[in-house]
């Protein structure tokens, strides 16, 4: 009847020697499998001379002789461990997929890239770098973003190696082995070991998350796993410390603002004049943040109601801002020269996708850098003691508003802060003057109460007390 065919092959080692070998030369040891008359080989990093190799040793699997030297035992153990591991994987595969072993399957196991996996044994770092290069070659990302991504993946490999979370190698992992738990550990490692900020960590996660999304599309990663991974970005919450760090004390007083207006009237450079118009608009639009200025669309403006309605980029909340006559005047000028355009100011491309966080981040940085470089020159020419920037418009509005007597609640709402506590913390230094003016407003009320104490009657107290409408007052805040 003959011997029954094995259901899966067993490996053995052979010394890869030429027909005419040199006895003094070392040759590589190869791991060999034979299946359906096909021979599948994989070389090792072990080299020995013919005299130091025993093909019949280790029950025909081959072994290194004692004559090799003191390392022969250790190397034999490594070789045996490897062939046993691959044999066991083939046995396991045969149990799950009876009679489906092929030469390609064996080659995959030998290459540590088993074709049986949905990801076909694709290395995740290699896969991510391929996606990065693809985007860079198509001008989807710039050189700096590409280089930063490569650097980030080197750090990711360091994380795998130092935490011993690599799979088939110490610093390598298959695409299909990426999990939310692994990325949680990576975020924690970057925080505690690398001492990275949340913003830095988010930037390092960007190429990883993009690679996972693409792997999911290719069927290399489970959709449920990818969905959890895409939610791994750290959400930066508005905090007092963050808002406080934004304010560096740089704001314009009335004289400096007048000097800036005079410079604008005589500025011979058209583009610089436009930057100054954008600065003045941000100031008159209740300190609108630069990212919201650059993404302002004509659909956000209601000239009839004299208001601006927009979802703020930073807070992702809809915000209503009353527009002063000065702000409307600037908008009318730009309406004439930007007729038919999507965005109010010429700061971003028409095709900018506001849902693309990376594209928006890049566009904001480019626009801000361009404007601020021009504003710094203006500030120097009018003698400012600090660098003029777009953010100075926001701080200047807040300081003017508080010193003109607007309540902290109204200023907080106009600035779009998360809470009044944030506004108070940021602009606490301006409160004494404001509080004094607020108390002064009570002078008439206090006098009426004094009169009541004297004559025992409220008299016309109710109709004489004047209640300030802070919203209307905000519209006429600055008239210089």
pLDDT in tens, 389-420: 888 888 888 888 887 777 778 888 888 776 67
Residue 185: its pLDDT value, please?
A: 93
CA dist 428 and 247 (Å) reads 11
Average pLDDT, the chain: 81
pLDDT at 251 over 90: no
- Cα separation values, 288 from 216, 314, 320, 327, 403, Å: 40, 11, 11, 11, 19
Question: Strand runs (DSSP E) across 377-423, as ranges?
Answer: none
CB atoms within 10 A of CB 445: 13
Query: Buried (b) or exposed (e) across 249-284, using 16+ Cβ within 10 A?
Result: ebbbeeebbebbeebbeebeeeebbbbbbbbbbbbb
CA dist 257 and 279 (Å) reads 11
Residue 80: its pLDDT value, please?
A: 92
| Contact predicate 336/344, CB 8 Å | no
Average pLDDT estimate for 154-159:
94
CA dist 110 and 104 (Å) reads 10
**SS3 call for 46:** strand
Confidence of residue 111 (pLDDT cuts 50, 70, 90): confident
Site of tokens 């490996």: 11
| Sequence-separated contacts (24+) of 308-312 with Cβ below 8 Å | 312/416
CB atoms within 10 A of CB 327: 23
CA dist 186 and 189 (Å) reads 5
| Contact predicate 54/65, CB 8 Å | yes
Average pLDDT estimate for 232-252:
59
**pLDDT tens string 195-204:** 888 888 988 9
Lowest-confidence pick of 129-138, 139-148, 201-210: 139-148
Confidence of residue 153 (pLDDT cuts 50, 70, 90): very high
Q: Which residue has the higher pLDDT, 458 or 121?
A: 121
Beta bridge partners of residue 310, listed in sequence order = 319
Residue 2: its pLDDT value, please?
A: 54
Q: Which residue has the higher pLDDT, 236 or 460?
A: 236
Residue 286: its pLDDT value, please?
A: 86
Beta bridge partners of residue 31, listed in sequence order = 13, 42
Residue 471: its pLDDT value, please?
A: 39
Task: Answer positive or negative: Cα dihedral of 256, 257, 262, 263.
Answer: positive
pLDDT at 159 over 90: yes
Lowest-confidence pick of 112-121, 282-291, 463-472: 463-472
Residue 452: its pLDDT value, please?
A: 45
Q: Directed axis angle between helix 390-403 and helix 270-284, to 10°?
A: 40
Average pLDDT estimate for 221-233:
90
Beta bridge partners of residue 40, listed in sequence order = 33
Q: Which residue has the higher pLDDT, 406 or 331?
A: 331
Q: Which residue has the higher pLDDT, 342 or 55?
A: 55
């Amino acid at each position: 009847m003959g011997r029954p065919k094995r259901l899966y092959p067993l490996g053995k080692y052979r010394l890869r020697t030429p027909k005419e070998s040199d006895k003094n030369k070392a040759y590589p040891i190869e791991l060999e499998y034979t299946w359906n008359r096909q021979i599948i080989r994989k070389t090792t990093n072990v080299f020995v001379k013919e005299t130091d190799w025993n093909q019949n040793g280790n029950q025909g699997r081959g072994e290194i002789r004692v004559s090799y030297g003191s390392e022969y035992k250790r190397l034999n153990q490594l070789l045996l461990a490897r062939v046993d591991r691959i044999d066991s994987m083939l046995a396991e595969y045969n149990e799950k997929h009876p009679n489906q072993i092929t030469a390609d399957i064996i080659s995959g196991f030998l290459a540590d890239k088993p074709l049986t996996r949905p990801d076909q044994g694709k290395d995740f770092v290699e896969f991510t770098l391929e996606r990065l290069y693809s985007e860079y070659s198509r001008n989807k990302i710039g050189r700096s973003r590409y280089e930063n991504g490569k650097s980030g993946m080197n750090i990711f490999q360091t994380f795998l190696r130092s935490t011993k979370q690599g799979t088939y190698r110490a610093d390598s992992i298959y695409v299909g082995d990426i999990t939310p738990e692994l990325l949680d550990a990576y975020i924690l490692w970057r925080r505690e070991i690398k001492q990275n900020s949340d913003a830095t960590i988010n930037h390092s996660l960007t190429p990883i998350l993009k690679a996972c999304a693409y792997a999911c599309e290719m069927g290399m990663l489970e959709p449920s796993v990818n969905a959890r991974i895409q939610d791994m970005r750290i959400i930066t919450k508005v905090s007092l410390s963050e808002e406080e760090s934004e304010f560096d004390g740089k704001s314009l007083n009335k004289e400096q603002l007048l000097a800036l207006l005079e410079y604008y009237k005589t500025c011979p450079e058209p583009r610089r004049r436009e930057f100054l118009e954008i600065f003045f608009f941000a100031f008159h639009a209740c300190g609108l943040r630069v990212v919201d200025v650059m993404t302002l669309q004509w659909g956000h403006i209601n000239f009839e109601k004299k208001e601006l309605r927009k979802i703020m980029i930073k807070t992702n909340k809809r915000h209503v801002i009353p527009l002063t006559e000065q702000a409307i005047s600037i908008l009318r000028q730009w309406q004439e020269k930007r007729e038919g355009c999507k965005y109010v100011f010429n700061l971003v491309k028409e095709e900018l996708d506001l849902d693309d966080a990376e594209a928006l981040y890049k566009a904001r940085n480019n626009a801000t850098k361009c404007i601020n470089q021009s504003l710094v020159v203006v500030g120097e020419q009018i003698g400012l003691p600090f660098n003029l920037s777009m953010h100075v418009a926001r701080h200047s509005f807040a300081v003017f508003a508080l010193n003109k007597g607007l309540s902290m609640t109204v200023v907080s709402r106009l600035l779009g802060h998360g809470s009044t506590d944030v506004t108070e913390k940021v602009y606490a230094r301006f409160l004494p003057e404001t509080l004094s003016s607020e108390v002064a407003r009570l002078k008439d009320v206090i006098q009426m109460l004094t009169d009541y104490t004297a004559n025992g009657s409220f008299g016309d107290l109710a109709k004489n007390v004047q209640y300030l409408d802070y919203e209307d007052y905000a519209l006429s805040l600055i008239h210089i």
